[in-house]
Structure 1
Amino acid sequence: MAGMPSLADLVWARGYTDPVRARCHTTSGRELVPSRRVWRGAGGPSPLPGASPTPEQATVGALDGLTFAGPHQQPVTLPELLGLAESDALLVLHRGRLVHEQYLHGYEPHVPHFNASAAKSYLGLVAAVLAHEGQLDRGAQVAKYVPELAGTAFGDAQVDHLLHMGTSMSYAGRPYDKALEAQRYFAVVAPRLRPYGYSGPDSIREHLATARATGAPGVEFRYENGNVEALAEVLRRVTGVTTSELLSEVLWSRIGAEEDAYYLLDPEGAEAACGGFSATARDVARLGEMLRCGGAAGGRQIVPEAVASTVVSGAPDGYARRVRFPAAPPDSPASLSYHDLWWIPNDPYGSFLASGIHGQRLFVSPGLDLVIVHYASQVVSPAVPQVPLVQAFLAIGRHLGG
């Protein structure tokens, strides 16, 4: 089980000091605020080779004999590792076949699970497709598409800066603090989280309008939700449809999903695009397998191969080439890259991943023929050590590859 943070750490943890409370949020988000479905399409689900017909028959144990490094480099088994990470699900696909499927803490395969910031990567993929098709100009100023954002940190940046977290800003004249701004963002989206006497923005768009640049765009990597929300508004203006409709049209209705996904909505009815997305583990695995196969699934091209193949190779030089996870210690090496809202470990296998705050991950490794979906409800606190899951994923891939 995850450790408990100290009382002095409660603000940073945003109240999620108990995995049970975090799990209630990650599996029941649409019961707390309004939501909009991401339609799975009219056709039947695509087969997932190796998938069990019922949760009780899920494939468990195939990898239990492996040993991994724990948070303090201690040897741990897979069940121990999943316990430390407060895991809800683990799916492993190797060469297109589901070789390990496991659900914990009562979580079930048909229930959409909060993806948190992993959703940023899915939106980045949609934006890359639209840019490839000529509907979106990466080099254009955001204000060209969203005139109301002119004069803000986001409106004066280019679309490509949003895709690489390349803006520097402060909100409403406050000194920028990432943890505090994350709390204020959630207060905008979910009125129930607002403190007594709250007088801030009532919608995501109002929140974005208070952002002022504190530096030139394209110079510094700053992982900030506002970049993704501004990008989502750009895509809504370009296509004329909601974020939910767009994700369904470009991806969800074409990958053979079993279940609808959904987005949480702000009080104005706009999707919380930076992290309010939920979907089943199996359907996220289908998305990852499509990307592993160069954008193809079910005998047809879902995403242009030129887009799928450049998630890793297209990473720009400069501010997005050497970065670290937001939760990583500031003295840790900046060894990752970041491209179109995807994290790139820069390993020998061409891997890339989408990652969310409570331990949600979609890991795709073409060189290892590997796709892994991990869902968790881990406590968010510097008092709780991060579990080295990416290293474990690579070890699983090397084991399966012999």
Structure 2
Amino acid sequence: MSDTPLMNLHWSRGYTDPAWVRRYTTSERELLPSRRVWRGPGPARSVPADIADVGRITFTTPGGRAVPLRELLEAAQTDALLVLHRGDLVYETYPHGLQPHDPHFNASAAKSYMGLMAAALIYEGALDREATASKYVPELAGTAFGDSTVDHLLHMGTQVSYGGRPFDKPVEAQRYFAVIAPSLRPYGYSGPGSIREHLATARATAAPGTEFRYENGNVETLAEILRRVTGATTSGLLSDMVWSRIGADEDAYYVLDSEGAEAACGGFSATARDVARLGEMIRCGGAVGEQQIVPSAVIADITNAPEGYARHVRFPAAPPTAPANLSYHDLWWILNDGHGSFMASGIHGQRLFISPELETVIVHYGSQVMSPAVPAAPLVPAFQQIATHLQRTR
């Protein structure tokens, strides 16, 4: 018997109950094995505060109704909202009791952090964008991911079927969670017990580079490539390349599978303030003060999405009727808003919004339910409106 119905019953509760979602977004590292991303030995970098009147902004919903920020945050089941403008902290709120020092699940926003490291290694010549994944991970030869290039992985360009099943994104997301967390496996589960085993079941259903398909396996394959290239764990690599160099106040964490591999595509937790520090480093061209953390050319290239299958796309949860007005490059969402804005995005409302032209960084953490009966809060238009307002008034 297929385990899909049982898994759908389990996850239908999880996706539609904000209290259940919040339990995992705020305490994931306490429920699963985890490995820290060390913040480094130095002092935390201070973030000057200059509070602005962001809370007074009203936003227009897709239905044309004007709502205050408070109502928008309620609809998004917001756990944290933090806004930086020109490096100043202008707004910060934690509506459901999360503390500034508490780490929070980043979900798929963590994909973009992997993209940042991969792009830096490509720039440095340690990684070949056009090489197939199997060059670095030979045991993936003959699989959908092994036969794809690094560039395909960075643009969600694989067409894959796991274990002979017809591809269905929600089902495959549930299957991935079952691989990571034994407690989420239905009775009688006999599938892969690790990320590595999961990737080995992937077979191509079309040539890579022909269509954008948002799929976790691309990022897990990329993470394994980076581990092979550098000899470091994903946690150690992020600490060495970024986290220990941005003045983070707290360690971050990745959850681990049964073999001790990080869940790189979404098992990352960190405080909102430290993710804001990451975003500010990126907004400033990869630099923190006088220290260059990520090559400026890598940062400048984030919004240079190539022509092709990743040029006109929509968010995974968007309805098919939504306009495909986004681009996707090196695991970042490009908003094409006329201000050079881009974003890391994860399920349940995790966002890192960066607008270099509007000099704004916004971090949003949420426990928003995933249900057709509950329309998603219009977070991206709200971020754009906040950034525009701040640029006009400060």
1:337 equivalent to 2:311? Answer no
SS at match of 2:242: helix
SS at match of 1:79: helix
RMSD (CA atoms): 1.2
Provide, for residues 214-258 of structure 1, a one-character-per-residue CA deviation record: whole Å limited to 9, x for no partner. Answer: 000011000000000000000000001100000000100000000
Structure 2 partner of 1:401:
391
SS at match of 1:367: coil
Correspondences of 1:382-397 after superposition (within 5 Å): 382-397=372-387
Contact 2:14 2:21 (8 Å CA) reproduced: no
Measured after TM superposition, the shift of residue 72 of structure 1 is: 3.0
Measured after TM superposition, the shift of residue 69 of structure 1 is: 1.6
Provide, for residues 280-301 of structure 1, a one-character-per-residue CA deviation record: whole Å limited to 9, x for no partner. Answer: 0000000111111111103210
SS at match of 1:362: strand
Aligned residues: 385
Structure 1 partner of 2:35:
36
Letter in 1 for 2:102: V
1:306 equivalent to 2:321? Answer no
Correspondences of 1:244-393 after superposition (within 5 Å): 244-313=235-304, 315-393=305-383
Measured after TM superposition, the shift of residue 62 of structure 1 is: 2.2
Measured after TM superposition, the shift of residue 398 of structure 1 is: 1.1
Measured after TM superposition, the shift of residue 71 of structure 1 is: 5.0
Structure 2 partner of 1:45:
44
Choose which of 185, 198, 201 in structure 2 pairs with 1:210.
201
CA distance in 2, matches of 1:357, 1:72: 23
Unaligned runs of 5+ in 2: 1-7
TM-score norm. by structure 2 comes to 0.96
Provide, for residues 308-352 of structure 1, a one-character-per-residue CA deviation record: whole Å limited to 9, x for no partner. Answer: 111002x11100000000000011111100000000010110000
CA distance in 2, matches of 1:239, 1:170: 29
Measured after TM superposition, the shift of residue 126 of structure 1 is: 0.4
CA distance in 2, matches of 1:296, 1:320: 28
SS at match of 2:56: coil
CA distance in 2, matches of 1:383, 1:173: 32
How many percent of aligned residue pairs carry the same amino acid? 71
CA distance in 1, matches of 2:24, 2:385: 30
Provide, for residues 10-40 of structure 1, a one-character-per-residue CA deviation record: whole Å limited to 9, x for no partner. Answer: 5663633211111110010011110000000
CA distance in 2, matches of 1:17, 1:324: 22
Contact 1:163 1:227 (8 Å CA) reproduced: yes
Contact 2:194 2:258 (8 Å CA) reproduced: yes
Contact 1:13 1:379 (8 Å CA) reproduced: no
Unaligned runs of 5+ in 1: 1-8, 52-58
- Runs of 4+, deviation exceeding 3 Å: 9-14
Choose which of 99, 102, 115 in structure 2 pairs with 1:108.
99
CA distance in 1, matches of 2:287, 2:176: 36
CA distance in 2, matches of 1:394, 1:328: 18
CA distance in 1, matches of 2:78, 2:268: 18
CA distance in 2, matches of 1:21, 1:378: 10
TM-score norm. by structure 1 comes to 0.94
